[in-house]
Chain A
């Protein structure tokens, strides 16, 4: 039997991490002063129990021993023998952290450190030794059984008396199977005592009336024989005695091993030999034990995704429909004539529908509920509010809103930063809140919802709001802006995302970790999203993060320059317009700007940037697509605006190499390849070119 247990490790790690999330969430919700819901305790217990069971099976002893302590304590709480104290909740929360680290180590095959676990173990042990709970067992569950002493191989003759209770068959225990097992140990002779079988009309067919006397000649120890009867020992009379192997006529003399049971009846001389076996079955199980533990060199940290079976079923359904449509079309194609054109076009219509549905459903597979990202916040807010002495209530909404897995992984840290900021800078201290006529406890609301093909994540607090004057003053002091003339409050709030901006007078260790809001915004932008702020002084602030649903598909505007088709991400486009010559201005060097209301927008001719030809090099009446990237607006000069459509992004780097100004490529309906323009990259490229030109002019 060679089963490589390592193949189950990854699932076990994922499952255990999920279980830890369950434990943590449940613990955070517990209010030790109030009555705790039994089901909450049960779910914590179950999670710890699962981790223990799995880790034992897969050989992670440290984890087993550690979770055994957790489980023992939780079991006592569950049975009402122990009170759930704040100390216990805290220690259990720390255990989650410790186990998470351990699983990280196990996944990367690093040794486990006991530095973190030791103090927790000490707390657990102290609690268990304390009279508070009936400390039942402190010895970690061990896989080893006491095992028989390895004395020299010696043949025994075991005389077994076995009288099962009548209902033994009803538990699925068939005496014949027990005898077969004994047979594997050696030579078995079975005598059946049929005295107790009643008259036929009195007989209940599923009751067992027979008792047995069994002689077993074997090298096995008594404990091995007892193990065979392990499952039925409480439902039968069983005696196992040793007779000398030389004895020819076995006379079972039962010595009762169960004194609380009725004494065993004296066997009579009418024992009928039921079966005699002289040929002991070879111990094939033993031979099979040569299981080689094959070390798998598989990448254990390979990222995987767990998908609901309903999503997979949906896909299978859709593929089924696609196959039907395909076979219909291919039949149509076999003997096609113009009379079938109607059916062809309806078939193609159906194909379009199938493909669209399939695409949507495939995308669904990568989608996870945002609760994966939100789950860490209750714990974090609990810890933070204790640390800085602010009372904060966290409200979470829309946790079932789904988001692409990759986006989810990347948005986690920015969200943490925003929430930390809300507690640190948004929510006032309890005294200030009371003075402002608010409740002592501050509120942070997390919300996620869909809006126009995007997902919006809101982080709202009811704190002091952002003071535009303070921000403006700071920005001027730091030299980020010269003055606030003509700036709206909204534009002033945006300044907090500028590099080098920090309003906290002293850097606290909560939100000030050397990472500013500029990094938050950069991360969000790299996901193709944006962030905006709404704030009212004294009432609170709302940070809204807008994210694309997925990174694999992009809403694009197709444009044409000369013979080439490019795609501009729709999210980057501000507006498209026809150039009015009177609004074009030439500034320094060969830089051209376009007057767009109050803004002067630099014009970037795409043909020059990419070195291709274009229909019309004159600006007059040409088309300008105004795009925004990294906070600055530019106008891209194009020959034609084509369709808007969703495109599947193919990486240029994996297929070719990185090209500045291009973020990827896609394949269009006619099979041709179109490049997707990287707006910030193109702006940087153009700035370089102009600077170079200027230098040449100056030279």
Chain B
């Protein structure tokens, strides 16, 4: 199954996303901010990245930009976890190169269908 990197500063959110993805057979690693995620991404390889937007140290948008600048993550699906229903965050994310988004709150089913969407 796929290797997925989950990035969120909230441990409960990370736990929930990780447990859901693991239960569907994915291999999941997690990071609590953009910088930690970037370090993990550089040292490993992931088929998809799911990241929160608001995080200390390095936010989600910066992470997307950084990942896209790495040759091995040029085409990797990156999903944003967002609560902003307003469009500006989404478009900022899209501009940075995010694949799509998942609007919080979401349930495990919604998470899995969305991830399946990008994993093909």
Contact check, B16 vs A57: say whether CB atoms are below 8 A apart: yes
- A54→B20 CA distance, assembly (Å): 15
Are A11 and B56 interface neighbours, CB within 8 A? no
Given A8-B16, A15-B11 in contact, is the A49-B54 Cβ separation under 8 Å? yes
Report whether B75 and A53 are in contact in the complex, using a CB–CB cutoff of 8 Å.
Answer: no
A183-240 residues at the B interface, CB under 8 angstroms? 206, 230-231, 234-235
- Interface size (B, Cβ < 8 Å)? 44
Question: Is A53 a contact partner of B105 (Cβ separation < 8 A)?
Answer: yes
Taking CB atoms and an 8 Å cut-off, the chain A residues in 3-40 that contact chain B are 3, 5, 7-9, 11-12, 15
- Bound-state Cα–Cα, A174 to B20, Å: 24
Closest Cβ neighbor of A39 among chain B residues: B56
**Does any Cβ of A come within 8 Å of B39's Cβ?**
no
Q: When A and B form their complex, which 10 residue pairs have the shortest distance between CB atoms, in order from nearest?
A: A56-B105, A231-B100, A172-B99, A12-B12, A172-B77, A3-B108, A57-B105, A11-B12, A177-B120, A53-B104
Q: For the complex, what is the distance from the CA of A206 to the CA of B75, rounded to whole Å? A: 9
Task: Kindly provide the distance from the CB of B103 to the nearest chain A CB, expressed in whole angstroms.
Answer: 8
Contact B12 A8 (CB under 8 A): yes
Q: Is the CB of A54 within 8 A of B12?
A: yes
Interface pairs (30), CB distance under 8 Å: A1-B24, A1-B108, A1-B109, A3-B16, A3-B19, A5-B107, A11-B12, A11-B15, A46-B54, A50-B10, A53-B52, A53-B81, A53-B83, A54-B12, A57-B104, A57-B105, A57-B106, A58-B12, A58-B105, A141-B83, A143-B105, A170-B75, A172-B76, A172-B99, A177-B117, A180-B120, A181-B117, A234-B91, A235-B94, A288-B109
- Asked if A451 CB lies within 8 Å of chain B CBs, one says no
Question: CA separation between A172 and B54, bound complex, in Å?
Answer: 22
Inter-chain CA distance A55–B112, complex, in Å, is: 20
- B85: CB under 8 A from chain A? yes
- Near A by CB (< 8 A), chain B positions 89-104 give 91, 94, 97-101, 104
Contact A53 B10 (CB under 8 A): yes
Interface set, chain B 10-37, CB cutoff 8 A to A:
10-13, 15-16, 19-20, 23-24
Picked from B16, B56, B98, B118, the residue with its CB within 8 Å of the CB of A43 is: B56
B86 CB-CB contact with A under 8 Å: yes
Interface string of A161-190 (1 = CB under 8 A from B): 000000001111110110011000000000
Q: How far is the CA of A7 from the CA of B9 in the complex (A)?
A: 18
Q: Which of B9, B85, B99 has the most CB of A within 10 A?
A: B99
- When C-beta atoms are compared, the residue in chain B nearest to A55 turns out to be B105
Known: A50-B9, A54-B13, A172-B75. A3 touches B20 (CB 8 A): yes
**B85 and A1 within 8 A (CB):** no
- Asked if B54 and A174 sit within 8 Å, CB to CB, the answer is no
Q: Does A45 make an interface contact (CB < 8 A)?
A: yes
B120 in contact with A174 (CB, 8 Å): yes
Which residues of chain A are near B120, meaning CB under 8 Å? 174, 176-177, 180
Contact A8–B15 (Cβ < 8 Å): yes
A285 contacts chain B at the CB level, 8 A cutoff: yes
Q: How long is the Cα–Cα vector from A231 to B103 in the complex, in angstroms?
A: 12
B40 contacts A by Cβ under 8 Å: no
Partner of B104, one of A3, A45, A56: A56
Contacts of B12 in A (CB 8 A): 8-9, 11-12, 15, 54, 58
Q: Cβ of A482 < 8 Å from any Cβ of B?
A: no
Report the bound CA distance from A550 to B19 in whole Å. 35
B interface residues with partner A (beta carbon < 8 Å): 9-13, 15-16, 19-20, 23-24, 52, 54-56, 68, 74-78, 81, 83, 85-86, 91, 94, 97-101, 104-109, 112-113, 116-118, 120
- CB A173 to nearest CB in B, in angstroms, measures 5
Which residues of chain B come closer than 8 Å to A291, judged between CB atoms? 108-109
Q: Is the CB of B68 within 8 A of A46?
A: no
Question: With an 8 A cutoff between CB atoms, is A590 at the interface?
Answer: no
A177 CA to B48 CA, complexed, in Å: 14
Question: Would B100 and A173 count as touching, CB distance under 8 A?
Answer: yes
A5→B83 contact, CB < 8 A: no
* A46-B55, A57-B104, A206-B75 known, 8 other contacts, Cβ within 8 Å: A3-B19, A46-B56, A137-B85, A143-B106, A172-B78, A177-B117, A231-B94, A289-B109
Q: Which of B15, B74, B104, B113 contacts A206 (CB 8 A)?
A: B74
Instruction: Look across to chain B and name the residue whose beta carbon is closest to the beta carbon of A19.
Output: B10
Neighbouring B residues of A15 by C-beta, 8 Å:
10-12
Bound CA span A46–B57, Å: 12
For B104, list chain A residues within 8 Å (CB).
Answer: 53, 56-57, 141
**Among residues 587 to 608 in chain A, which have CB atoms less than 8 Å away from a CB atom of chain B?**
none
* B71 CB, min distance to chain A CBs, angstroms: 11
CB of A286 to closest CB in B, whole Å:
10
> For A234, what are the chain B residues with a Cβ–Cβ distance below 8 Å?
91, 94
> In the assembled complex, which residues on chain A have CB atoms less than 8 Å from the CB atom of B94?
171, 231, 234-235
In the complex with contacts A141-B85, A170-B97, A45-B16 CB distance below 8 A: no
A1-B23, A56-B104 known; A46-B9 Cβ under 8 A:
yes
A170 and B68 contact, Cβ closer than 8 Å, known pairs A46-B56, A141-B85: yes
Q: Give bound CA distance, A64 to B68, whole Å.
A: 33
- Cβ-defined contact, A57 with B13, below 8 A: yes
Would you give the shortest CB distance from A39 to chain B, in whole angstroms? 9
User: Given A57-B104, A176-B120, A177-B118, do A170 and B11 touch, yes or no (CB 8 Å)?
Assistant: no
B78 to chain A, nearest CB (A): 6
Q: How far is the CB of A25 from chain B (nearest CB, A)?
A: 15
User: Which residue on A lies nearest to B18, using beta carbons?
Assistant: A8
B19 near A7: Cβ-Cβ < 8 Å: yes
Q: Which of A1, A46, A53, A173 contacts B99 (CB 8 A)?
A: A173
Which B residues touch A9, using CB under 8 A? 12
> Contacts of A180 on B, CB cut-off 8 Å?
120
**Could you tell me the distance between the alpha carbons of A297 and B109 in the complex, rounded to whole angstroms?**
23
**Closest-CB distance, A200 to chain B (whole angstroms):** 21
How many whole Å from A143's CB to the nearest CB in chain B? Answer: 5
Query: In the complex, are the beta carbons of B85 and A169 less than 8 A apart?
Result: no
A56–B68 alpha-carbon span in the complex (Å): 30
Identify which of B56, B83, B118 gathers the most chain A CB atoms within 10 Å of its CB: B83
